[in-house]
Chain A
Amino acid sequence: MLVHTAFGRAEQVARHWSAAGCPIVIHADKNVPKKTYTGFVKALSDLPNVRFSRRHRCEWGTWGLVAATQSASAVMLSDFKDVRHVYLASGSCLPLRPVQELVDYLAERPHTDFIESATTADVPWTIGGLDQERFMLRFPFSWRKNRFLFDKYVALQRKLGYRRRIPNGIVPHMGSQWWCLTRQTLSAILEDPDRSVYDQYFRKVWIPDESYFQTLSRLYSRQIESRSLTLSKFDYQGKPHIFYDDHLQLLRRSDCFVARKIWPFADKLYDAFLTDAAGAMKRTEPNPGKIDRIFAKAVERRVRGRPGLYMQSRFPVEGRENGLTCAQYSMFEGFSDLFENFGPWLARVTGTRVHGHLFAPERAEFSDGQRVMNGALSDNATLRDYNPHAFLASLIWNTRGERQCFQFGPRDTVKEIEWNIAKDPNAQISVISGAWAVPLFKSNLNFSEIRQEAARLQQIESKHLDVLRSPWAKARIRIWTMAEFIEAPMEPLQTIIDEIGKQSQHGLAEVPKMADLTGFGQFLQNLKNQGMHPYLMGDFPVEHRLHEPERGQRKPYLVR
């Protein structure tokens, strides 16, 4: 048992092992003050089967930890002749199952060494690089205390192309430092005639406690189970995950024999696992699957985060958002101008939430006339325009699980938000260009005002279309001119609806009602005659044509 802190807990666990008849050799870090150490030794002096081994200075990533393990192993093998398996544990390890179960488990597998041991070539699992190189370079400087020299010396060796020779052609293996080896294997490693050669080599290897025994056991073991009996998880920075009181159920269900690292003040865990030894004898294999998944998820959350979320501890720089919003949504431009009942129709056909013009200058037109949306998002235009991107991201985030659709057009506050939407791969943008002219056509304004407004809207939409057509636009964008669209309106509608992907299989049973466009061609011609050429709607003939329905009898759309 390697101990360097929390001696009270180490004593508690040592007593637990000892009471179950397992002899223990304890190594305490030489950095521990003498007073603490002697107190610790004294506290355990009543146990007959506890020994203390020669102390080494243990710093993370250095040889000291291996030296400590070697000394302690030697004591164990010489002082306790009937020990068959040696289990390397730490002071913050906690046995989760009755010790007898572990004893039985090992007795059934008398020749098996449990040591995680993989070649670096096959498993690139190390954190922060240095997987092959830790065996090829020299590491005389401390990573903790002399990071600068450590890094510089690595860089220098790389530059010079320095390579160490690996003695006797051994194949470097790596794995968890917490192993359980048989007497045969362990003594073979310690008594190897070439041990001084190996020791000399591993002294300058980076983090040798993860490779010394892992490599050498490959030379002697009869049967290696390449896994650790100790449940020990590391996060993406190589820091061990810590178990707290609230992990009690999780640890119980894991069926692992030993877990580390336990928070020293996790009273509930120590009470639970060190007292109820009488628990039913289970013959199950350790099953850390659930814990693995939970910790993998935590790392995922730390590294990738929840897409589309902006908060006090997640605020990605541009380009690292991993999704500007959290879910897909649809933006329709011109549809509500061309069709009289587009919103209600879309809601019925797709079952999605359909808003009006979210970016209207007066207020955000939420669905059903709501003044406040999910998450207490206000419809106030000033509030919205203070940070339109946050407004949209919040709306999509707050309504997770329900697709949002909204209308958009050149009358809205376009400039502040158009790039955010165009660059968002979650956006599905469908545009009928020039349809903004329909409300003008229907309006009761003076023609000079109409002309002025038409010129303004056309300019805005034209710039907006440039944005949508730019190479940086990442949304799924479809643009039709109005003339193009009314030529065959069902096909584009069907495509858009299919993409939203929620309607019935049989195509569109119901179609939205198109505005009456009788005289629209003439209206456009009048604008032209005034010197304002409306071009975004495509070519509209002045005289009546087929797509302009005869008065009184509308041409039915084809339903696919």
Chain B
Amino acid sequence: MTWAAEAWLAYRLRWKRRRLLFRALRKRRQLDPVRDLTSLIKPDDILVFSTVRNEALRLPFFLAHYRALGVGHFLIVDNDSDDGTQEYLAAQPDVSVWHSGHSYKLSRFGVDWLTWLQIRFGHGHWCLTVDADEILIYPHHDTRPMQALTEWLDAHGRQSFGTMMLDMYPKGKLDAERYEAGADPFERLCWFDGGNYVMQKKRDLHNLWIQGGVRARKFFAERPERAPTLGKTPLVKWNRRFAYVSSAHSILPRRLNLVYDDQGGERLSGILLHTKFLHVVVARSAEEKHRAEHFANSALYDDYYDSLQTAPDLWCEQSHRLTGWRQLEAMGLMSRGNWT
């Protein structure tokens, strides 16, 4: 790309970011506070931002996991749950809850709402933007809390931290066993695809577009370009001028997308363990297909939802069993970089 084209692109992205921020500003009216505990947020707290819908099953483990890692406060938008999610969240001592009955898709999959909350409360904090089915782990997470990680990132002049989503699945039919709220989901969802990921660098935003894994293998083998995006930049030292572009996959300004080393080295990175394939996924696929709220071109994903409803077995002979972060590090699914 020539210098002029590059400058023009940078200019357009700048306006795109402003547009996204303005959008978030308009959508703030779609949020009704249910329980506002944000006055409890301390200056150094790590904050979790999330949009949820009917996640009463996953939230107990989700909250417990991130509390154990040292998260200070949760800011959660409840998108019209009817399974008691809102009541459950409102009863927590460290969760602020907003409710919205508006369209998830039209709020760019909840991102507009979260962007507004990040403008309000995220400025100057390390902010983790994850879904209720995403469990962040990183090298040494069993011995070092997230404060150690964010301090280290600060000391090394890094404002963002890259991860890959790792789809975890059970052996056998997806709905063969029921998961009970609060239990460790990885007791049954302990299998994953170890080495079938593909990635390319996005020309405009410079983020890595990672695809592959079990969903590409089982559901998108004939349409790999449609396979879900797995790269995410969920942990960012937030500034009120930042904005996620599509979910947490990419962010503006785009320097924050450079969570990878392009000179041959390895940067510190983590994994989002994805608990999508709990038994509820089977029933939910029917609903999601009907609501058509999860993908930009939802009709293209009908087959995907149809096959999920048959509760297929995702396991294969070459699946790996999760033993811990050291295993994922050795397999090259995440890296310690120079954080030893």
Interface residues of chain A, those whose CB is within 8 Å of chain B, are: 235-237, 239, 241-242, 244-246, 263, 265, 294-295, 297-299, 301-306, 309-317, 320-322, 372-378, 380, 382-383, 386-387, 390-391, 394, 397-398
The 0/1 profile, CB within 8 Å of A marked 1, for residues 209-238 of chain B is 010101011001111110000010000000
Once A246-B143, A375-B195 are accepted as A-B contacts, the answer to whether A311 and B334 lie under 8 Å apart by CB is yes
In the complex, are the beta carbons of A304 and B265 less than 8 A apart?
Answer: yes
Once A298-B340, A305-B264, A306-B266 are accepted as A-B contacts, the answer to whether A244 and B144 lie under 8 Å apart by CB is yes
In the complex, are the beta carbons of A377 and B266 less than 8 A apart?
Answer: no
Given contacts A304-B264, A312-B210, A317-B263, 16 further A-B contacts (CB under 8 A): A246-B143, A263-B144, A265-B148, A298-B337, A301-B337, A305-B266, A306-B332, A312-B260, A315-B201, A316-B262, A320-B262, A375-B193, A376-B194, A376-B319, A383-B224, A386-B198
A163 → B minimal CB distance (Å): 32
In the complex, are the beta carbons of A314 and B266 less than 8 A apart?
Answer: yes
Contacts of B156 in A (CB 8 A): 237, 239
Contacts of B151 in A (CB 8 A): 263
Q: Is B152 an interface residue (CB 8 A)?
A: yes
In the complex, are the beta carbons of B261 and A316 less than 8 A apart?
Answer: yes
A53 → B minimal CB distance (Å): 27
Closest partner residue, chain B, to A303 (CB atom): B265
Contacts of B145 in A (CB 8 A): 265
Contacts of A306 in B (CB 8 A): 266, 332
Closest partner residue, chain A, to B144 (CB atom): A244
A277 → B minimal CB distance (Å): 25
A-B pairs with lowest CB-CB distance, top 8: A375-B195, A313-B269, A302-B338, A386-B224, A376-B193, A398-B195, A298-B340, A387-B198
Q: Is B85 an interface residue (CB 8 A)?
A: no
Contacts of A398 in B (CB 8 A): 194-195
Complexed CA–CA distance, A304 and B259 (Å): 16
* A294 partner, pick from B197, B208, B259, B340, beta carbons under 8 A: B340
Contacts of B231 in A (CB 8 A): 312
In the complex, are the beta carbons of A246 and B140 less than 8 A apart?
Answer: yes
Contacts of A297 in B (CB 8 A): 340
In the complex, are the beta carbons of B316 and A311 less than 8 A apart?
Answer: no
In the complex, are the beta carbons of A374 and B269 less than 8 A apart?
Answer: no
Complexed CA–CA distance, A391 and B212 (Å): 10
In the complex, are the beta carbons of B262 and A312 less than 8 A apart?
Answer: no
Q: Is B196 an interface residue (CB 8 A)?
A: yes
Complexed CA–CA distance, A236 and B263 (Å): 15
Once A373-B318, A375-B193, A383-B224 are accepted as A-B contacts, the answer to whether A314 and B217 lie under 8 Å apart by CB is no
* A302 partner, pick from B143, B200, B267, B317, beta carbons under 8 A: B267
In the complex, are the beta carbons of B164 and A311 less than 8 A apart?
Answer: yes
Contacts of A314 in B (CB 8 A): 260-261, 264-267, 335
B49 → A minimal CB distance (Å): 21
Q: Is B336 an interface residue (CB 8 A)?
A: yes
The 0/1 profile, CB within 8 Å of A marked 1, for residues 296-340 of chain B is 000000000000000000001111100000000000111111111
Contacts of B198 in A (CB 8 A): 386-387, 390-391
A-B contact pairs, 20 of them (CB 8 A): A239-B156, A242-B152, A263-B151, A297-B340, A301-B337, A302-B338, A304-B265, A306-B266, A309-B266, A311-B334, A315-B199, A317-B262, A375-B195, A377-B196, A380-B222, A387-B198, A391-B198, A394-B197, A397-B332, A398-B195
Complexed CA–CA distance, A106 and B200 (Å): 58
* A301 partner, pick from B220, B266, B320, beta carbons under 8 A: B266
In the complex, are the beta carbons of A310 and B199 less than 8 A apart?
Answer: yes
Closest partner residue, chain A, to B316 (CB atom): A372
Closest partner residue, chain A, to B163 (CB atom): A312
In the complex, are the beta carbons of B264 and A311 less than 8 A apart?
Answer: no
In the complex, are the beta carbons of A312 and B193 less than 8 A apart?
Answer: no
In the complex, are the beta carbons of A378 and B217 less than 8 A apart?
Answer: yes
* B262 partner, pick from A235, A315, A377, A390, beta carbons under 8 A: A315
Q: Is B54 an interface residue (CB 8 A)?
A: no
A169 → B minimal CB distance (Å): 39
In the complex, are the beta carbons of A312 and B224 less than 8 A apart?
Answer: no
In the complex, are the beta carbons of A312 and B195 less than 8 A apart?
Answer: no
Once A239-B156, A301-B266, A302-B265 are accepted as A-B contacts, the answer to whether A312 and B316 lie under 8 Å apart by CB is no
Closest partner residue, chain B, to A318 (CB atom): B262
Complexed CA–CA distance, A215 and B239 (Å): 45
Contacts of A236 in B (CB 8 A): 338
Complexed CA–CA distance, A239 and B145 (Å): 20
B229 → A minimal CB distance (Å): 12
Q: Is B110 an interface residue (CB 8 A)?
A: no
Q: Is B1 an interface residue (CB 8 A)?
A: no
- B248-285 residues with Cβ-Cβ distance < 8 A to A are 259-269
A57 → B minimal CB distance (Å): 21
In the complex, are the beta carbons of A313 and B195 less than 8 A apart?
Answer: no
Contacts of B163 in A (CB 8 A): 312
In the complex, are the beta carbons of B208 and A312 less than 8 A apart?
Answer: yes
A317 → B minimal CB distance (Å): 5
* B264 partner, pick from A244, A299, A322, A391, beta carbons under 8 A: A322
B305 → A minimal CB distance (Å): 20
In the complex, are the beta carbons of B140 and A382 less than 8 A apart?
Answer: no
Contacts of A246 in B (CB 8 A): 140, 143-144
* B155 partner, pick from A239, A302, A309, A378, beta carbons under 8 A: A239
Q: Is B170 an interface residue (CB 8 A)?
A: no
The 0/1 profile, CB within 8 Å of A marked 1, for residues 129-164 of chain B is 000000000001001110110011001100000111
Complexed CA–CA distance, A295 and B339 (Å): 9
In the complex, are the beta carbons of A309 and B144 less than 8 A apart?
Answer: no
In the complex, are the beta carbons of B339 and A313 less than 8 A apart?
Answer: no
A389 → B minimal CB distance (Å): 9
Contacts of B155 in A (CB 8 A): 239, 242
Complexed CA–CA distance, A215 and B260 (Å): 41
Contacts of B320 in A (CB 8 A): 375-376
B91 → A minimal CB distance (Å): 29
In the complex, are the beta carbons of B334 and A376 less than 8 A apart?
Answer: no
Complexed CA–CA distance, A378 and B210 (Å): 17
Complexed CA–CA distance, A541 and B297 (Å): 62
Complexed CA–CA distance, A327 and B259 (Å): 26
Complexed CA–CA distance, A543 and B188 (Å): 69
Once A313-B162, A314-B267, A320-B262 are accepted as A-B contacts, the answer to whether A301 and B143 lie under 8 Å apart by CB is no
B189 → A minimal CB distance (Å): 15
Complexed CA–CA distance, A387 and B210 (Å): 11
Once A311-B269, A383-B224 are accepted as A-B contacts, the answer to whether A376 and B214 lie under 8 Å apart by CB is yes
The interface centre, meaning the residue of B140, B194, B261, B339 with most chain A CB atoms within 10 A of its CB, is B261
In the complex, are the beta carbons of A375 and B266 less than 8 A apart?
Answer: no
Once A263-B148, A265-B147, A294-B340 are accepted as A-B contacts, the answer to whether A313 and B335 lie under 8 Å apart by CB is yes
